[in-house]
Amino acid sequence: MAARAETRTPAWQRGKVVSWLVTTDHKRIGILYISSALVFFVLAGLMALVFRLQLSQANADVLSPERYNELITIHGTAMVFLVAVPFLTGFANYLVPLMIGARDVAFPRLNALSYWLFFLGGAILMLSFFASGGAAQNGWTAYPPLSVQQPGNGQDLWILSLHILTASSLAGAINFLVTIHNLRTRGMTWTRIPLFVWSIELFSWLLIAVLPVLAAGLTLLLLDRGISIGPWEIQTHFFDAAEGGAPVLYQHAFWFFGHPEVYIIVLPAFGIISEVLPVFSRKPVFGYKAIAASTVAIGFFSMLVWAHHLFTVGLPISLQAFFMIASMVIAVPTGMKIFNWLATLWRGNLHFDTPMLYALGFLSIFVMGGLSGIYLAAFPIDWQVHDTYFVVAHFHYTLFGGVMFAIFAGLFYWWPKMFGRLLDERLGKWQFWLLFVGFNLAFFPQHLLGLEGMPRRIYTYADESWEGYNMGSTVGSYVMGIAILVFVWNVWRTTRSGPRVGNDPWQADTLEWYTTSPPPPHNFDDVPYVTSARPLYDLRRRLREASGFRGSL
C-alpha cells in the first residue's frame, strides 16, 4: 500500500512541509484546522487579556476607545469564526470518516479548499489591524449605520473575511453531509452512527440553512459602504434611514444566522460530550435515540429564536411572545441531553481522566449557562439586562465554559488517536483546575455587573462600585491565560516525549479506535460489519466469548 502511494505521489509533494500544504487527507486537514484554530485562540485570547486590563479599574487609561473597540470586535469575531467553528470542523474532519468507517470525506479536494479558504479568511481578519483606519470597531455584530460610517478599510476587510469564511464553511458542510449520507460502512445505519456524527449532520444542515442569509446581509452592508468596480461606483442605502432604508433589517439578517450559529457551535460540543462520558463511565450512553432526537429538535428550534436578540428594538407584542416561547422551548431538548448524560454516569465506573474532567466541567458550566439563558428568554428581564454584562456572562458560560471545555475534552480524548501519544495527564489536570477556577472567577462576577446595569462594549466606566467585580474578572482571565500556557507546554513536551499508548488507550467503543493510532492514510485495512452503536464493544465481547477469557478486556 505504502509503496503504491509513493509511486503515485510526485516527488515535489513528498517533502515534510509541502506534503502538508498539498494534502487532501481528511486527517491531516483536520489537524491543520485544529492547529490553526489553536493559534487563533491564543491570539484572540491575548486580545481579551489586553482589554481586561483596561476594564480592571474605573477610568483606566490602557487603551484608547479606537483600540478597545477594535480588540473587542476582532476578539468576538475570531472566537466564533476562527476558533470555535474551525476547532469543531477540525474534529469533524478527523473523526467523521473514521467513525463511519470511510476512507476519506466524499470530496477530498473540496475539503482542502475549505481549509485554505478558512486560513485566508483568518489571515485577512487578523491582518486587518494594519488596514488604513485600523480594524473594524463596531462589535462582532457590526450593526449599521455605525458600521457603514466607519472610515478606512477595516470594516470592509471584516466583511471580506466573513464572506470567505462563509464560502469555506458552506463547502465543508456540503462535504460532511455527502460523506455521512453516502460513505457509511456496511451495517452503519442511522441508529448506529456515533452521536458526534449526528451532531455534525445537524451542524452541516444548519450552516447550509443560515449562512446564505448572513452572506446576503454582509453583501448589502458592503454595498451600503460603497464599492467601485472599474469606472462604476455603487453606493446603496439598504440600511440608511434617511434614504428609506431600515437599519433593523440588518439585525434580522445577522441574527437569523447568529442565533443558529450558537447551536452550530454547541451541537458538536454536545456530540463530543456524548462520546466522552460513556467511555469514562464504562457504560453505554443512556438514551442514544433521545439524544439524537434532541439534537434534531435543537437544530430545528434554533432557527425560530433569532429575534430574542432584538427584544429592545420595538417589536410588536405578538412577535415578542412568539420568540419568547420559542426560546423557552429550546431548553427542553437541551435539558433532555443533560439528564441523559447524568443517567449515563449513574451506576457507572467513573474514571476521572483529563477528558472526563473537561466533560464534567462542561456539564456543570453549561447548566449555569442554560439557566441564565432562561432569564434572557423571559424578555421583560431581557429588557433589564439586554446589552449588559449579564449577556456577556451568559454567552461565555455557553461558548467558553460549554464549547471550549468540550473542545479540550475532545483534544485530550482524541490526541492519542491523532498522534499515537498521550498528552500528559498531570499537566492536563493542572490545566483543567486552573481553567475551571479562572473561568468562574472571570465570568461569574459579570452576571452581577450586568444586574447592576454595566453595559457591554464600554471602554471605560466611572462607577467605582463596579471595580471589585471587574478586577476579579480580570484576575480570572489571567488565570485562564496561565491554563492555556500549561496546555501549550503540554503539547510541546509530549510531542517529544509523550508515552506511546497503543491503538485504544481508553477502551472506547466507536469505530475510529478500531484502526491504528495514528491511522494509516487509507484509514482501515478492513472494517468490521457494524451491528450496534458500539462496534468495538461488540468485538471485544465476541473475542472474550471465543477465547473463554472471563476477565475484563
| Chain residues 436-475 in contact with another protein, contact rule CB under 8 A | 436-437, 440, 444, 447-448, 451-453, 455, 457-462
Strand-pair category, 227-229 with 232-234: antiparallel
**CA gap 33, 264 in Å, rounded:** 17
**CA gap 466, 462 in Å, rounded:** 9
553 forms part of the interface with another protein (CB under 8 A): no
Give me 235's grid cell. Answer: 453606493
Shortest gap between Cβ of 291 and another protein (angstroms)? 9
Closest CA to 508 of 539, 485, 477, 531: 539
Is 469 among the catalytic positions? Answer: no
Shortest gap between Cβ of 51 and another protein (angstroms)? 12
Shortest gap between Cβ of 26 and another protein (angstroms)? 30
Is 396 among the catalytic positions? Answer: no
Is 259 among the catalytic positions? Answer: yes
329 forms part of the interface with another protein (CB under 8 A): yes
* 66, 425, 467, 538: residue in contact with another protein (rule CB under 8 A): 66
- DSSP for 427-474 reads HHHHHHHHHHHHHHHHHHHHHHHHHTTPBTT-S----GGGHHHHHHHH
252 forms part of the interface with another protein (CB under 8 A): no
- Per the CB < 8 A criterion, the answer to whether 126 and 74 are in contact is yes
Listed in sequence order, the residues at least 6 apart from 44 whose beta carbon sits closer than 8 Å to its beta carbon are: 74, 75, 78, 79, 82, 83
Shortest gap between Cβ of 456 and another protein (angstroms)? 8
**Binding track over 2-21 against another protein, x by CB under 8 A:** --------------------
Shortest gap between Cβ of 398 and another protein (angstroms)? 15
Q: For another protein, which stretch binds (CB under 8 A), given 40-48, 106-114, 140-148, 509-517?
A: 140-148
Is 75 among the catalytic positions? Answer: yes
Q: Which amino acid is at 470?
A: N
Give the DSSP H or E segment for 233: strand 232-234
Indicate which residue of 68, 263, 358, 430 is catalytic.
263
Is 168 among the catalytic positions? Answer: yes
Is 261 among the catalytic positions? Answer: yes
What are the angstrom distances between the C-alpha of 149 and each of 63, 77, 124, 136? 22, 19, 21, 11
> Phi and psi of 551, rounded to 5°?
-70, -175
- Per the CB < 8 A criterion, the answer to whether 91 and 49 are in contact is no
Closest CA to 145 of 225, 233, 65, 255: 225
3-state DSSP assignment of residue 234: strand
Closest CB to another protein among 6 and 243?
243
DSSP code, position 82? I
Is 274 among the catalytic positions? Answer: yes
Indicate which residue of 308, 386, 396, 447 is catalytic.
308
* 22, 53, 223, 284: residue in contact with another protein (rule CB under 8 A): 284
Q: Which residues in 142-201 contact another protein (CB under 8 A)? A: 143-146, 149, 151
3-state DSSP assignment of residue 232: strand
Is 141 among the catalytic positions? Answer: no
Is 456 among the catalytic positions? Answer: yes
* 165, 363, 479, 527: residue in contact with another protein (rule CB under 8 A): 363
Q: For another protein, which stretch binds (CB under 8 A), given 103-111, 141-149, 175-183, 203-211?
A: 141-149
Indicate which residue of 26, 52, 259, 394 is catalytic.
259
Listed in sequence order, the residues at least 6 apart from 282 whose beta carbon sits closer than 8 Å to its beta carbon are: 348, 349, 351, 507
Is 140 among the catalytic positions? Answer: yes
Is 344 among the catalytic positions? Answer: no
Q: For another protein, which stretch binds (CB under 8 A), given 113-121, 258-266, 357-365, 487-495?
A: 357-365
Is 334 among the catalytic positions? Answer: yes
551 forms part of the interface with another protein (CB under 8 A): no
**CA gap 434, 385 in Å, rounded:** 29
Listed in sequence order, the residues at least 6 apart from 91 whose beta carbon sits closer than 8 Å to its beta carbon are: 30, 34, 196, 268, 272, 407, 410, 414
Q: Which residues in 219-248 contact another protein (CB under 8 A)? A: 241-242, 245-248
347 forms part of the interface with another protein (CB under 8 A): yes
Q: Which residues in 384-443 contact another protein (CB under 8 A)? A: 384, 386-388, 433, 436-437, 440
Shortest gap between Cβ of 244 and another protein (angstroms)? 8
Q: For another protein, which stretch binds (CB under 8 A), given 37-45, 166-174, 324-332, 413-421?
A: 324-332
Give me 89's grid cell. Answer: 470542523
* 45, 258, 287, 519: residue in contact with another protein (rule CB under 8 A): 287
Write out the catalytic residue numbers. Answer: 75, 104, 140, 168-169, 259, 261, 263, 274, 308-309, 334, 337, 456
